[in-house]
């Protein structure tokens, strides 16, 4: 019981580009300290945006030098004028020293079994030897199964999952599918795989919708971090530019902090000429905008999908298809189950197609009409697994 009351959880998120991994880890950390009043949570992140977000008391974070994932799938150092290998060595050292100093009871790793380029392998082995319980957290969809098999074989992820982890948590449901389908794991490893449900989001009562958005109904256009959202935003802007008769509802465009500055400025200039559009680069309170939107136009990333379900918002998804098929697979699932409508990049030259989809968006059924029981139980599932791990070990 003393271990439960004073438990410490370390969370690792490798990514520096985009906001998805960071926002998922933040939701988990906040839920844990809300449930366990004596618990402390530390997040290790490569995101330069982490300091822009609010965290609950007893949640802290430490940043490692950032890296950026290129469209090719390769990585390069972010900000530092040093070799990528030197950056990775610095990251691995910070991660290991943090683990040693913090001495967690549970180590939750987001998505990458060995971390970026194997940077957490030593830490995983050291923590397991010290009695820490290692958990691999997977989103609902990872990638096309053949691509994932090839990736995990190349990264030697399978023996890591089998030998270094105590459990696998899936932040989704079996209805979406097995995120590691085709990966051959030992039966005893598969028995430790738990489908927990999507991570439900909420907005504290103290958070108010900015007054400038409270005066008229709007749809929210958000490409997440924005680094690969140019096609989505451009397609929407062309639709508004073509609708001179004003049939489209007012739109709020949040470009994302990782969108290239030149592209941001171009979009801002175009939006300034469209009275029915508003523009922001970034907000750390996007949940309140989602909750009050008549509809959401997004790319189909994991966190946005959780928020669409949580706030019961009508949605139009425009998924990317490189370097992973993750967003397309999730969007296909959403469309098949009637949870959202979908347009694909291959049709992005068709401005009229987007205009028609935007006109239909406020008339779509809401996702709650089709949600299955347990779909949004992910945070409760995580706290239940933490309780079971701490009590049984």
Whether residue 382 is found in the same domain as residue 330: no
**Structural domain contains residue 60:** yes
Q: Are residues 18 and 123 in the same domain?
A: yes
Q: What is the mean pLDDT of the chain?
A: 92
Peptide bond into 323 cis (omega under 30): yes
Assess if residue 65 is contained within a domain.
Answer: yes
Percent of the residues in the chain that have a pLDDT greater than 90, as a whole number: 76
Identify whether residues 165 and 219 lie together within a single domain. no
Asked if 194 and 231 sit in the same domain, the reply is no
List all residues 6 or more positions away from 338 whose beta carbon is below 8 Å from its beta carbon: 365, 369, 370
- The parts of the chain modelled with pLDDT lower than 70 are 1-3, 16-18, 68-81, 369-371
**C-beta atoms surrounding 242 within 10 Å:** 13
> In sequence order, which residues have a C-beta less than 8 Å from that of residue 122 and are 6 or more positions away?
92, 96
Q: What does each C-alpha distance from 298 to 129, 152, 155, 327 come to in angstroms?
A: 43, 29, 31, 10
Per-residue pLDDT at 139: 95
387 and 356 part of one domain? no
The residue behind tokens 């409508």 is: 341
**8: β partners:** 40
Instruction: Look at residue 368 in the predicted model and tell me its pLDDT.
Output: 83
pLDDT digits (tens, 9 = 90+) for 234-255: 999 999 999 877 899 999 999 9
In a domain, 206, yes or no: no
Q: Are residues 273 and 161 in the same domain?
A: no
pLDDT score for 71: 56
CATH of residue 280's domain is 3.40.50.2000
Instruction: Mark whether 168 and 291 lie in a shared domain.
Output: no
Q: What is the pLDDT of residue 66?
A: 76
221 with 115, same domain?
A: no
CA distances from 115 to 40, 44, 157, 235 (A): 22, 11, 10, 35
CA distance 147 to 391: 38
Torsion angle of alpha carbons 104, 106, 111, 117, nearest 10°?
40
Measured distance CA(3)–CA(10) in Å, rounded: 15
d(CA 251, CA 218): 5
Tell me the β-bridge partners of 135. Answer: 108, 167
pLDDT at 72 (0 to 100): 54
Same domain, 333 and 381: no
The verdict on 128 and 250 lying in the same domain is no
| Cβ 316 vs Cβ 305: under 8 Å | no
On whether both 145 and 43 belong to a single domain, the answer is yes
The pair phi, psi for residue 210, each rounded to 5°, is -50, 140
Contact 63, 95 (CB under 8 A): no
Q: What are phi and psi of 307, to 5 degrees?
A: -70, -35
Question: Domain containing 278: what range?
Answer: 211-369
Tell me if 167 is assigned to some domain: yes
**Any idea what DSSP says for residue 364?**
S
The greatest distance separating any two alpha carbons of the chain, rounded to the nearest whole angstrom, comes to: 67
Q: How many domains does the chain have?
A: 2
Co-location of 175 and 241 in the same domain = no
Rounded Cα distance between 356 and 339, Å, is 18
Q: Which residue has the tokens 């959403």?
A: 334
For residue 89, report the phi and psi dihedrals to the nearest 5 degrees: -65, -40
Handedness of CA 239, 245, 251, 253 (dihedral sign): positive
Report whether 186 contacts 162 (CB < 8 A).
yes
The answer to whether 380 and 181 are in contact (CB under 8 A) is no
Position 193 in a domain: yes
Degrees to nearest 5, angle at CA 39 with 36 and 42: 130
CB contact set of 304 (below 8 Å; sequence gap of 6+): 222, 224, 296, 298
Q: Number of C-alpha atoms within 13 angstroms, CB side, residue 92?
A: 18
- For residue 80, is it within any domain? yes
In a domain, 205, yes or no: no
């Amino acid at each position: 019981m003393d271990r439960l009351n004073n438990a410490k959880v370390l969370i690792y998120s490798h990514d520096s580009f985009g906001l998805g991994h960071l926002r998922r880890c933040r939701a988990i950390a906040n839920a844990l300290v809300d449930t366990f009043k004596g618990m402390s949570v530390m997040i290790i992140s490569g995101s330069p945006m982490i300091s822009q977000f609010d965290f609950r008391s007893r949640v802290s974070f430490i940043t490692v030098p950032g890296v950026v994932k290129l469209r090719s799938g390769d990585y390069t150092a972010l900000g530092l004028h040093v070799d990528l290998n030197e950056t990775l060595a610095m990251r691995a050292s910070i991660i290991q020293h943090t683990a040693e100093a913090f001495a967690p009871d549970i180590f939750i790793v987001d998505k990458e079994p060995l971390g970026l380029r194997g940077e957490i392998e030593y830490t995983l082995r050291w923590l397991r030897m010290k009695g820490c319980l290692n958990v691999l957290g997977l989103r609902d969809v990872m990638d096309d199964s053949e691509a994932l098999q090839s990736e995990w074989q190349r990264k030697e992820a399978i023996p890591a999952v089998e030998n270094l982890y105590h459990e696998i948590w899936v932040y989704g449901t079996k209805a979406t599918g097995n995120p590691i389908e085709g990966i051959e794991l030992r039966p005893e490893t598969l028995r430790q795989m738990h489908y927990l449900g999507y991570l439900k989001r909420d907005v504290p009562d103290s958070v108010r919708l900015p007054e400038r958005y409270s005066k008229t109904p709007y749809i929210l256009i958000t490409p997440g971090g924005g680094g690969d959202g140019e096609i989505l935003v451009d397609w929407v802007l062309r639709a508004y530019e073509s609708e001179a008769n004003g049939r489209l509802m007012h739109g709020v465009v949040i470009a994302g902090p990782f969108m290239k500055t030149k592209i941001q400025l171009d979009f801002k200039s175009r939006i300034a000429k469209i009275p029915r559009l508003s523009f922001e680069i970034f907000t750390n309170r996007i949940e309140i905008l989602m909750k009050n939107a008549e509809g959401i136009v997004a790319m189909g990333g994991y966190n946005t999908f959780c928020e669409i379900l949580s706030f019961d918002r009508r949605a139009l998804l425009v998924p990317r298809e490189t370097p992973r098929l993750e967003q397309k697979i999730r969007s296909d699932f959403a469309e098949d189950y009637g949870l959202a409508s979908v347009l694909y990049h291959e049709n992005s030259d068709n401005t009229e197609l987007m205009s028609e989809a935007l006109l239909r968006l406020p008339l779509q059924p809401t996702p709650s009409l089709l949600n299955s029981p347990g779909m949004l139980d992910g945070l409760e599932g995580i706290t239940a697994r933490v309780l079971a791990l701490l009590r049984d070990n």
